[in-house]
Chain A
Amino acid sequence: MTTKQRICITVNGVRHEREVEPRLTLVDFLRHELYLGGTHVGCEHGICGVCTVLIDGRSARSCLALAVQADGCDVTTVEGLRDGATAQLHPIQQAFVEAHGLQCGFCTPGFMMTTLELLTENADPSDDEIKEALGGNLCRCTGYESIIASVRLAARRLREQQGA
């Protein structure tokens, strides 16, 4: 028997305290302990990127982090994108809708969270920079072109918002 550990993780601005087994991954913590099903889980060994969240502002595969490792951290998931007050979609979400950045939608949370990190660092990325940034996320449906177009659109909207 292993000893459970008490952890405290802030997810999308809300503190959550739980006792967990050390082997619980962060993605299972989000989905099974907090019932935040927006973060998807695919390969469970670091290949596909669908489980991407931000840990202290940095994109990370939540299947390759233990919940105990995220003790004390600030985690942002896809549920954190939408504006809490107005319930409006985030410009990244809106851009994925308009530019057909998804078909089945399974990969979408991972792509959007990676995009959030990219556009925070680089407001006007080139196509090559977008491709490099999204290289760790797989999509079986779209063929990627519409995803790249969505990121371009999101970047433009965010720049306009900032300028306004």
Chain B
Amino acid sequence: MKPASFDYHAPPTLAEAVELMARLHEEGVDAKILAGGQSLMPMLAMRVARPEVLVDLGKIKSLDYIREESGAIAIGAMTSKRAAEASALIERQQPLFHAATKLVGHRQIRNRGSVGGSFAHADPASEYPAVALVLDIVFKAVGPEGERTIPAGDFFVTYMTTSLESTEVLTEVRLPVLPAGTGWAIQEFARRNGDLALAGVATTLKLAAGVCADVRLAAFGVNATAVRLTGAEEFLRGKRPDRAVLAQAAAMAANDLDEPMSCVHASADYRRHLIRVLAERCLLEAAARAI
């Protein structure tokens, strides 16, 4: 369980990191970005990943920030999950993202793991991609051609794959502030506290005159990426969020899923069952919070 050899660079600025990634790419060198290492280090130890060079973003202080900017919360990619968890701004203005952060791993993992790293890593069982789909999070990335913005809907491609180019650095994650009165919830099932989820659901629910005006529902841990459950979302529009209606929507969400993944810990059928149960609980919780 020791990583294979690699060379290591820790550029002090973003510009130098981007230039270095571009140069290594041109030279045909297999280089990988290192952030908090909480996913990449296990992959190196098991030699699932064997890059020739690691480019560590840890020295780039300009990628570590949380600030409010015109109705959004901007988080630098290298901000630790611990800092996001400790941020009163995030807890107040974006409680869904805050609750999701607390579900990620254990304190040792959140101390070192970056906010950006979880999105770039795109683990299908991670909480963050589902929250990105529910909230329409926007990503900023910088590559040799400059900066571009990527909406969540275009960011996650498949299992552990995003639309980031191998030379691009994810620099910022922009969360919209949750509008006052919007209900929200995130629930998951894991074998042990802090483990990656076998299945989970995240939701926001907005009411107007007592009926559902806008519901966002996404599942994680079941398919190759997090998925929006649009059938259930549509079904709820214009309906009163009473228990029977929410249960019907949850059943619809579970039925509509593409065949879930299956492993020794949970069969496809069990995962589908979990999504129904968790979706119902999430919708109830979100409806109770909505005003």
A interface residues, Cβ below 8 angstroms from B: 1-3, 5, 21-23, 25, 28, 43-46, 49, 52, 55, 58-61, 63-66, 68-69, 71, 114, 117, 131-133, 135-136
Contact = CB atoms under 8 A, between A and B. Distances in A.
Instruction: Kindly state the interface size class of chain B when it binds its partner.
Output: 20 to 34
B106 A135 contact: yes
B193 A132 contact: yes
Nearest to B40: A64
B46 interface: yes
A27 B41 CA distance: 13
B6 interface: yes
B1 A60 contact: no
Of A58, A64, A71, A133, most buried by chain B (CB within 10 Å of CB) is A64
Nearest to A43: B1
A29 to B, nearest CB: 13
Given A60-B111, A63-B45, A136-B106, A45 B37 contact: no
Interface of B: 1-8, 10, 34, 37-38, 41-42, 44-46, 54, 56, 58, 82, 105-109, 111-112, 192-194
9 tightest CB-CB pairs across the interface, nearest first? A136-B106, A22-B8, A44-B1, A45-B42, A58-B111, A64-B41, A135-B193, A23-B3, A2-B5
Contacts, number: 93
11 contacts: A2-B7, A3-B7, A22-B8, A45-B42, A49-B106, A52-B108, A58-B111, A64-B42, A66-B34, A131-B193, A136-B107
Contacts of A28: 2
B108 A114 contact: yes
Contacts of A2: 5-8
A56 to B, nearest CB: 9
A9 to B, nearest CB: 14
Given A52-B108, A59-B108, A69 B1 contact: no
